[in-house]
Amino acid sequence: MAEPIFMSNEDDPRMVEAHRAAQQSFKYFWRELSWERRRIVPGLGVAMIKLAFTDGPRTDGKPDYEQMWCTDVEFDGETLKAKLINAPNWLQSVKVGDAVEVPFTELSDWIMTANDVAYGAYTVQVMRAGMGGAERRAHDKAWGLDFGDPNEVQTEINRTRKKPGFIARLLGAKSAPSEEAAPQTGFRDHPMCVNMLEAYDTQLQGDPSIATTPDERGWSMIHGEALAGNLGVIKLLLKHGADSNAKTPEGKDAAGLARRIGWHEIADYLTNEAK
């Protein structure tokens, strides 16, 4: 899937701020992606990150860096791995389809979509804010997405339930899920985390070793859940024998992973209450 490229001035202070905001809110992207991979029916349309690539200093008048989108994202708390899906306009060192690996500090944006509504896309919104109405409509049509107000970036997908109409209520219909921006009112677990706790508890009761057995990377389940921001699952893992001090092969504990990505409430819980 090759998304359209719209050029921008990366030295613009608004773009620099967009990069900073994208890194600070990346935790919501990563948490949604962690649950997407557990779904039977996909809930996301697109999940991509934007990274800067360069061949080094240029003398032909073109920018040193070209910002491009990548998909198939993996993250270990320090490093991003992904696949480049844009064909470079002038760079020679990378090509579409390449596997790339960069430090998290080089992340410049992220975007995820549900029901063709865009979440994140900080740099895209900076560009849209500088467009006229006709140009913005053409931009959105090229993406095939609803970006909403360019001055309001949505970060979390809130799966609320629409109230059924009068006839539907008479027939006993249940409300249908909808997607809308969730208000930022402090930490709360992802809806899927809340809904899955009973099933996880049952599974852990049947096989407590799940809470302590490392995966192929040497990570215990508590490490991945801490990075993904799933406090409810973490509490269950601790209840069934997980070690809050367990280290990854790289020497990272769950609290450190949570704090690195920005889940400070989870890091504090693991550092204090979990002891």
Q: What is the pTM of this model?
A: 0.86
What's the CATH code of the domain at 225? 1.25.40.20
139 plus 17 within the same structural domain:
yes
- Classify residue 131: in a domain, yes or no: yes
Give percent of the chain above pLDDT 70: 85
pLDDT of residue 186: 75
What's the token pair of residue 54?
């360069």
pLDDT bin (cut points 50, 70, 90) of residue 116 is very high
pLDDT of residue 64: 85
Q: How far apart are CA 263 and CA 94, in angstroms?
A: 33
- Classify residue 166: in a domain, yes or no: no
What's the token pair of residue 67?
């910002």
pLDDT of residue 59: 87
DSSP state of 229: T
pLDDT bin (cut points 50, 70, 90) of residue 161 is very low
- Classify residue 4: in a domain, yes or no: no
Given 158, 181, 205, the domain boundary residue is 158
What's the token pair of residue 98?
């390449």
224 plus 135 within the same structural domain:
no
224 and 193 Cβ atoms separated by less than 8 Å: no
68 and 51 Cβ atoms separated by less than 8 Å: yes
Mean pLDDT of the chain: 87
**pLDDT at residue 167 tops 70:** no
- Classify residue 168: in a domain, yes or no: no
**pLDDT at residue 79 tops 60:** yes
pLDDT of residue 273: 76
- Classify residue 6: in a domain, yes or no: no
Side-chain-facing half-sphere of 175: CA atoms under 13 Å = 8
**pLDDT at residue 70 tops 80:** yes
56-84 mean pLDDT = 92
- The residue with greater pLDDT, 178 or 18, is 18
pLDDT of residue 275: 61
pLDDT bin (cut points 50, 70, 90) of residue 183 is very low
pLDDT of residue 61: 84
Quote the domain boundaries for residue 139: 13-158
**pLDDT at residue 11 tops 80:** no
Tell me, rounded to whole angstroms, the distance of Cα 140 from its chain centroid: 21
125 plus 217 within the same structural domain:
no
245-273 mean pLDDT = 95
**pLDDT at residue 193 tops 60:** yes
pLDDT of residue 159: 60
Mean pLDDT is lowest, of 65-74, 131-140, 159-168, for 159-168
What does residue 160 show for φ and ψ, rounded to 5 degrees?
A: -85, 180
**pLDDT at residue 95 tops 70:** yes
- The residue with greater pLDDT, 161 or 134, is 134
**pLDDT at residue 96 tops 50:** yes
154 and 181 Cβ atoms separated by less than 8 Å: yes
- Classify residue 139: in a domain, yes or no: yes
What's the token pair of residue 145?
């997405």
One-letter identity of residue 19:
H
Mean pLDDT is lowest, of 53-67, 139-153, 190-204, for 53-67
| Overall domain count for the chain | 2
- Classify residue 175: in a domain, yes or no: no
Q: How far apart are CA 198 and CA 155, in angstroms?
A: 27
Tell me, rounded to whole angstroms, the distance of Cα 21 from its chain centroid: 13
- The residue with greater pLDDT, 169 or 258, is 258
Q: Tell me the angle at which helices 221-228 and 254-261 cross, rounded to the nearest 10 degrees.
A: 20
197 plus 258 within the same structural domain:
yes
**pLDDT at residue 169 tops 50:** no
